[in-house]
Amino acid sequence: MFYEDPKHHGLKYNPFKALVAPRPIAWVSSVDTEGNLNLAPFSFFNAVAEFPPTIVFAPNGPGPRGDGKDTLANIEKTNEFVVNFATWDLREQMNETSAHVPSNVDEFELAGLTPIPSINVKVPRLKESPVNLECVFLQRVRLPSTNPKIENNVVFGRVVGVHISDEIIVDGRVDMMKYRPISRLGYMDYSVVDNVFSMERPDDNLDAYEARKRT
């Protein structure tokens, strides 16, 4: 099949997000100027640079009530946020914080989770998550939208502090089978890392490649 207009794919559900998958989940904690806490998951998320470590996520909106994303408003006002990572054991709590609730509702409390102090930012991190990235706001980019009801945004953040639970570190490396992060697929589907394989980059195999060409 082939389609151009997202409204004309001919399927029961739009396949786009199911194709661009799996997508890691940024479980973003933020705080407003009154000190109200917010915790929300975003599946348009990834790392985009290493030096310095930089992440990007997309708080698109508005919500069902017609208002903007609390996370975006908080970050633009305070210039700080934390990306926490959802794991298999935290899947239900992550899903609970995806509910569209009024801005004065504390999603930490709603999902029975624990905010604890960060080191380099004022925004609390999530105690139950094995990985937390303390971030400072770099910039927001507004993207074109073909839906007049939807505003598309991407937020870039510089990572200024990384917390990793010692329980998921084995022989100096993050053990993915202990970490078990979950990711978003299409529709209401998710995935969990339960199988890992390695492949060496073939940069050092150029001699073998040249030898094959000569045969």
Q: Who has greater pLDDT, 187 or 64?
A: 187
Let me know if residue 68 belongs to a domain: yes
Confidence class of residue 107 from pLDDT cuts 50, 70 and 90? very high
Let me know if residue 6 belongs to a domain: no
Q: How many domains does the chain have?
A: 1
Lowest-confidence segment of 23-32, 67-76, 91-100 by average pLDDT: 67-76
Q: What's the pLDDT score for residue 200? A: 85
Distance from C-alpha of 76 to C-alpha of 38, rounded to nearest angstrom: 14
Let me know if residue 181 belongs to a domain: yes
Region 178-196 average pLDDT: 96
Q: Is 51 exposed, middle or buried (0-12, 13-18, 19+ CB in 10 A)?
A: exposed
Mean of the per-residue pLDDT values of the chain: 93
Find all residues with CB under 8 Å of 102, minimum gap 6, and list them: none
Torsion of CA 130, 20, 55, 178, to 10 degrees: 20
How does pLDDT run across 117-171, given as a tens digit for each residue? 999 999 999 999 999 999 999 999 999 999 888 999 999 999 999 999 999 999 9
Handedness of CA 88, 130, 45, 31 (dihedral sign): positive
Let me know if residue 3 belongs to a domain: no
Let me know if residue 178 belongs to a domain: yes
Let me know if residue 159 belongs to a domain: yes
For residue 73, give the H/E element and its range. Answer: helix 70-78
**pTM of the shown model:** 0.91
User: What CATH code is carried by the domain that includes residue 135?
Assistant: 2.30.110.10
Region 82-102 average pLDDT: 96
Q: What's the pLDDT score for residue 87? A: 98
Let me know if residue 4 belongs to a domain: no
Structure tokens at 175: 């053990």
Let me know if residue 20 belongs to a domain: yes
Q: What's the pLDDT score for residue 66? A: 58
Q: What's the pLDDT score for residue 7? A: 79
Does the pLDDT at position 62 exceed 90?
A: no
Q: Who has greater pLDDT, 41 or 8?
A: 41
Confidence class of residue 210 from pLDDT cuts 50, 70 and 90? confident
Domain that holds residue 188: 12-214
How does pLDDT run across 114-124, given as a tens digit for each residue? 999 999 999 99
Q: Do 129 and 27 form a contact (C-beta atoms < 8 A)? A: yes
| Residue in 125, 197, 158 with CA at minimum distance from that of residue 56 | 158
CA distances from 114 to 3, 90, 93, 160 (A): 45, 12, 11, 21
